[in-house]
Chain A
Amino acid sequence: MKALTIARREVSSYFDLPIAYVVLPAFLILSGLYVFVLQPFFLVGRATLRPFFEFAPFIFTLFVPAITMRLFAEERRSGNLEVLLTWPVGDLALVIGKFLGAFALLALALALTLPFPLAVGAIGDLDWGPVIGGYLGLMLLGGAYLAIGLLVSALTHNQIIAFIGGFAVCFTLYVAGKALPLVPPALAPWLEAISFDRRFAGIARGVVDLRDVAFFVSAIAVGLGLCAEVLTARRWR
């Protein structure tokens, strides 16, 4: 319940600050440019949203750290974290609250892209399986990125460092799958196992494998758990 109180405040802060009014249009414009200009599906001649689902995991590596960077770094910089730590809100509840607030913004960003499939579906014969899978995959992938961004944000009091750090980790996990042909064969299975891109691609094909879902859910749980540990460990700093 307290996590929801925290989450609600985070959402209104996104609009008061006003981060949401910058980040949401930027995400929509960049995605739109990619889908309609760089990969003009009119020319491809097929009703598909694949370009969007190929581009979104990349743009998320920038978009997600931008919405998580301030969540703890700013609380640390302002000293407000010490106020929060004296309220009867558990460290994990605080982390989950911040995560849910950021996740709501991410979900809103994705909801605002729904005109893409609706428009494409109106023009051509769209296969809705990969679209639904793609959106589910983006929620899971975005959630995992959020957990990472949140963890990095808890490690610093500088928002820029939180952003660059979050981007570096998310981007590395994003390209890990693409680096498969370049690494020694012995490493390949390990790399494939942690590749966000591979897991996501499976779900985005419309094949929802529970192992892939469990992978992202576990990544979220580990990220949030570590983040709560970071807060707890600050007491012994």
Chain B
Amino acid sequence: MIRVVELSRRYGPVVALDRISFTVEPGEVLGFLGPNGAGKTTTMKILTGVLAPGGGEARIDGRAADGRDGEFRGRLGYLPESAPAYPEMRVGDYLRFVARARGIRRRDVAPAVARAVERVGLGPMLRREIRALSKGYRQRVGLAQSLVHDPPILILDEPTSGLDPNQVLGIRALIRELGRTKTVIFSSHVMAEVQAVATRVIILHRGRIVADGAPAELGDGGRRSLIRAGGLPPAALAERLGGLPEVAGARVVDGGVELEAAADGDAARAAAARAVVEGGGELLELRPLAADLEAIFQRLTSGAP
């Protein structure tokens, strides 16, 4: 179990983390969400012992996060942002080196490397030099590095940043898979990614936790929708929909009218569909708008419900 209590950290005068507290139970897949500079990486570096806490404490299975504690280091796997490795090494040589440096006994190295390679799907690349790999495969090398010793806890800093859409899906599936047997903490600034992968989300903003809960709770329940209709000019449509009791607001946007539900998003959409048809228009498109991170931040940090 990971327990973080009143953790703070500054870099000179800059406050990176301001007394954050949370716990992570075994088997959780926790997504840290937040814009750059929110404190995600700092939290992860403290959890891995790369940085010392400034105040408060971070404990993993009761052991203080301390980079000088070898036992502690053995329980963790860490993938920093940009997945650094030694570009001149071949993938297989690199992973064997990591296994040896990790203290895996000589005769256990080959099976450990084979298992990590199998898990991340690096099989065909073993003899390639790391510098010759695509970004997606380099990310997999970093992941294999983080799990060659089969740690119970994985900490992954922006594991999908800079990857193409297919690679992103591959890494997400891998994280979900790993989450079945391990505690995983990863960071991202993509809301949809965290919703797709995490069992729990912590949103950080300016070094503070602004939300902590299941991914579904953190969306806005699909309260905003986009509607496009034929036969009704957008201004008239907006006016008509704005008068519905289920709708709190309607405004003309690029591509149609955006609805803000008074309470339930589905109820608002049902009412809007009826209103379009009854008004003599043709309903062409009606869909809930995904809550983007910006909107969630605005909601969470402005104090509105």
> A-side interface residues toward B, CB under 8 Å?
2, 5-6, 9, 12-13, 16-17, 78-80, 82-83, 85-91, 232, 235-237
Contact = CB atoms under 8 A, between A and B. Distances in A.
Contact of B88 (A6, A13, A82, A88): A13
Contact of B101 (A5, A232, A235, A237): A5
Given A86-B73, A89-B101, A91-B68, A236 B84 contact: no
A228 B74 CA distance: 20
24 contacts: A2-B100, A5-B97, A5-B100, A6-B101, A13-B88, A13-B89, A16-B89, A78-B84, A80-B85, A80-B86, A82-B78, A82-B84, A83-B80, A83-B84, A85-B48, A85-B49, A85-B67, A86-B50, A86-B73, A88-B71, A88-B74, A90-B70, A235-B50, A236-B52
Nearest to B93: A12
A90 B101 CA distance: 10
A89 B49 CA distance: 13
Contacts of B71: 88
A86 B84 contact: no
B84 A79 contact: yes
Nearest to B69: A88
B118 to A, nearest CB: 21
Nearest to A2: B101
A86 B101 contact: no
A188 to B, nearest CB: 42
**Overall SS of chain A's interface:** helix
A78 B87 CA distance: 10
A9 B67 CA distance: 23
A85 B44 CA distance: 13
Given A86-B67, A88-B73, A79 B80 contact: yes
A9 B97 contact: yes
Contact of A82 (B70, B80, B89, B97): B80
A86 B76 contact: yes
A87 B86 contact: no
B28 to A, nearest CB: 20
A87 B102 contact: yes
B145 interface: yes
Interface in B18-36: none
Contacts of A236: 51-52
A5 B101 CA distance: 6
Contacts of A6: 101
Given A9-B97, A79-B84, A88-B74, A237 B68 contact: no
Those 5 A-B pairs whose CB atoms lie nearest each other, nearest first: A80-B84, A88-B70, A88-B73, A79-B84, A235-B52
Nearest to A77: B84
Nearest to B72: A88
Contacts of A16: 88-89
Contacts of A232: 68
B84 A235 contact: no
A52 B271 CA distance: 94
B71 to A, nearest CB: 8
B85 A87 contact: no
Contacts of A9: 86, 89, 97
Given A82-B50, A87-B73, A2 B82 contact: no
Which of A5, A9, A82, A86 has the largest count of B CB atoms less than 10 A from its CB? A86
Interface string B56-98: 0000000000011011011011101110111011000100011
B103 interface: yes
Contact of A13 (B67, B76, B86): B86
A232 B50 CA distance: 9
A91 B77 CA distance: 18
